[in-house]
Amino acid sequence: MDITVKNEEKIYTLIIEGRIDTLTAPELVKVFRENAGKADKMIFDMSGVDYISSAGIRAIVSAYKDMGSKDGLVLKGLRNNVRTIIRMTGLEKKLTIEE
């Protein structure tokens, strides 16, 4: 998994590519926490994510709670298979998801 961080006026975008699984999810949490304190809003650009496991879901939920509001974390560019998993966990209703 590769993560690139972009900052445009305190709106941080993590461009994630590859798999978010048991081994890589901790890296996502780490990168998120390094930047979350400085961000008003966090966007996970997941158009390059082709797989997400339950560890990845837990990482996203942890980020959502840390941001403290519904619009604080945005998921963007979800592929169908990743979106299916997110929907089935009940996350789709809680998070802001952009195409």
Residues making contact with other proteins (CB under 8 A): 19, 21-23, 50-55, 57-58, 61, 79-82, 84-85, 88-91, 94
Smaller CB separation from other proteins, 13 or 67: 67
* Nearer CB in complex with other proteins: 13/24: 24
What is the nearest approach in angstroms of other proteins to the Cβ of residue 39? 22
Closest approach of other proteins to the CB of residue 95, in Å: 10
60 phi, psi to nearest 5 deg: -65, -45
In angstroms, the CA 24 to CA 72 distance is: 23
**Contact of 33 with 66, CB cutoff 8 Å:** yes
Nearer to other proteins, 8 or 99 (CB): 99
User: Closer to other proteins at the Cβ: 11 or 88?
Assistant: 88
CA distance 68 to 55: 20
Residue 48 CB, nearest distance to other proteins (Å)?
A: 14
| Alpha carbon distance 12, 84 (integer Å) | 25
Tokens of 82: 């990743």
- 3-state class of 19 per DSSP? strand
